[in-house]
Amino acid sequence: MEEPIIRLIEKMLYQKIILYNDLLNCFHEERVSLINVDLDKLWRISQEKEEICTKIESARMNILAGVHHHKEEKSFHLKTIMQRIPLEYKEKFQKLYLRLIKLKSEIDVLRKENMTFIDDSLNFLD
């Protein structure tokens, strides 16, 4: 893998980490808004989450374009890309990869908790 491609991937991974942190913060804010029944803020957070997800998808596509610039692949597997990183960059990329995995799992937990909170609230009202 060439140096410019490695730098592009590194830059996009950092961007994804920042975006996933932003998304995690949205889920924290969403939880507070759910508890306070702040519908205006919930709508704003929903829009913000959509914008962040669009940016994450864009970063994903940029990484895919950098790695597969000569191929017609449309799938993206971060684990596969990690296997293609040269040995001298492995440690740094491994840390970025693990940070992304951790953020994704934290987001998934919060998302599920918020959904459960909504379901419980609706069942209570019913």
Q: pLDDT tens across 76-115, in order?
A: 577 777 777 888 888 888 899 899 999 999 999 999 999 9
Do 78 and 97 form a contact (C-beta atoms < 8 A)?
Answer: yes
Residues near 82 by Cβ (< 8 Å), separated by ≥ 6?
93, 94, 97
What is the residue whose two structure tokens read 């998934």?
Answer: 108
pTM for this entry = 0.84
Residues near 110 by beta carbon (within 8 Å), at least 6 away in sequence? 24, 27, 28, 31
- The tokens describing 2, both together, are 């060439």
Alpha helices in 2-86 (DSSP H): 3-36, 39-67, 78-84
> Mean pLDDT in the chain?
87
Instruction: Please say whether the beta carbons of 46 and 79 come within 8 A.
Output: no
pLDDT tens readout for residues 39-86: 999 999 999 999 999 999 998 888 877 776 545 455 557 777 777 788
CA distance 65 to 110: 31
Separation between Cα atoms, residue 120 and residue 103, nearest integer Å: 26
